[in-house]
Amino acid sequence: MNIIGKRKIYYIISIILIFASVLAVLMWGLKFGIDFKGGAMLEIAYPDGKRPEIKQITESLILLNLNDLRVSPVGQNNISLRFRETDENTHQAIMRILAANGAEERRFSSIGPTIGAELKQNSIKAIILVLLGISLYIAWAFRNVSQPLGSWRYGAVTLAALFHDLIIPIGLFAYLGHFYGVEIGTNFIVALLVILGFSVHDTIVVFDRVRENLKLHSSLEFTALVNKSVNQTIVRSVNTSLTVLLTLLALYIFGGESLQYFILTLLVGIFFGTYSSIFIASPLLASWFLKRKS
């Protein structure tokens, strides 16, 4: 496969996706859940199977004046309630009203707005530190590679590929949050960190083969050598990713609703992480070489 020769096609696809994702984030932003903005989440169950309509539950709680109340079904018999700024007295008042219709409490959690804001800041810092740490590690790991490109360029290309892999699922959730009210929480951050780990693993495999081929085929022109390296590793990368994606797809279809968006984030991120390691990271190396050569 002449992947390097057709790199402009892959660049155009990625630029369109990145542009759309950045535009979605700038226009709509992300819809943060109670993990980041503070609030409470209450999950109740109806063991007798007679779960009331969502409208009926909402109307029964009107007198409590709950801020940003959102009621959504969970499975066949459970209900999830999300609301802002509550205390234990309000919690007990909610349960008294709902218990009249046979509801039983399954789970309750509350996060203050200060803690939520701190979690948001720490999450952003964690992602930035991971991105920088990975880039520096790759630059160090390839420190013995100086020709035709210095080791720091491998780190810089990896950073660009990782940004590509993060911004696309972030843009997707900006869209889902705006049009479907999908909120993000700490699970979303965990999924992004998993994507970073998976993506950099695939990229390192390709770069490591480039490093080996630089020793074995020193007479080969660099762009041809990169293309050869990608073709040697593409089957392994695709097979590994396909195994993970099929497992995640099964979990997304048949798993519980509470992890549905966590799994969706992983599906999108791992798919594009595999794409970027093959069609973006390695071609960027070749493009950088050609630009220096010209």
Nearest to 171 by CA among 265, 270, 257, 249: 265
Q: Is the pLDDT of residue 68 over 80?
A: no
β partners of residue 236: none
Average pLDDT score over residue span 42-56: 83
Q: Taking a C-beta distance cutoff of 8 angstroms, is the pair 39, 85 a contact?
A: yes
Residue 149 DSSP SS3: coil
**pLDDT tens digits, residue range 217-238?**
777 888 898 899 999 999 988 9
* 3-state SS assignment for residue 105: strand
pLDDT at 19: 97
Which among 111, 143, 171 is the end of a domain? Answer: 111
Domain of 185 in residue numbering reads as: 7-34+114-293
pLDDT at residue number 78? 84
Residues 6+ apart with CB under 8 A from 21: 167, 168, 170, 171, 172, 174
Q: Are residues 22 and 69 in the same domain?
A: no
Calculate the average pLDDT of the chain. Answer: 86
Boundary-marking domain end, from 111, 134, 167? 111
- Do residues 182 and 275 share a domain? yes
Domain check: are 119 and 166 in the same one? Answer: yes
* pLDDT tier at 113, thresholds 50, 70, 90: low
What's the pLDDT band for 169 if we cut at 50, 70, 90? very high
State whether 92 and 127 are in the same domain: no
Cα–Cα separations (whole angstroms), residue 16 to 115, 149, 168: 36, 28, 10
Q: Which CATH number characterizes residue 56's domain?
A: 3.30.70.3400
DSSP per-residue letters across 171-212: HHHHHHHHHH---B-HHHHHHHHHHHHHHHHHHHHHHHHHHH
Comparing C-alpha atoms, which of 278, 36, 1 is closest to residue 165? 278
| Residue whose C-alpha is closest to residue 173's, from 23, 70, 38, 21 | 21
Among the three residues 111, 131, 159, which one is the final residue of a domain in this structure?
Answer: 111
Q: Across the strands, what pairs with 109?
A: 41
Length of the chain: 294
- For residue 11, tell me if it sits in a domain: yes
The answer to whether position 2 is within a domain reads: no
Between vectors from CA 146 to CA 141 and to CA 151, what angle results, nearest 5°?
Answer: 40
Kindly report, residue by residue over 15-37, the tens digit of the pLDDT.
Answer: 999 999 999 999 999 988 777 77
Shared domain check, 98 and 218: no
How far is CA 131 from each of CA 121, 206, 218, rounded to the nearest angstrom?
A: 16, 19, 31
Q: Are residues 91 and 146 in the same domain?
A: no
DSSP H helical ranges for 217-293: 222-254, 260-276, 282-293
Determine the pLDDT at residue 116: 65
96/195 same-domain check = no
Distance CA 54, CA 70 (A): 10
- Greatest CA separation for the chain: 80
Find tokens 């390839």 and name the residue.
142
Q: What is the CATH number of the domain that holds 20?
A: 1.20.1640.10
Q: Are 241 and 270 in contact (CB under 8 A)?
A: yes
- How many structural domains does the chain have? 2
Least confident segment among 74-83, 144-153, 219-228, 238-247: 144-153
Residues 151 and 285 in one domain: yes
Which phi and psi (to 5°) does residue 229 adopt?
-65, -45
Residue 260 vs residue 87, higher pLDDT = 260
Please indicate, yes or no, whether residues 223 and 239 belong to a single structural domain of this protein. yes
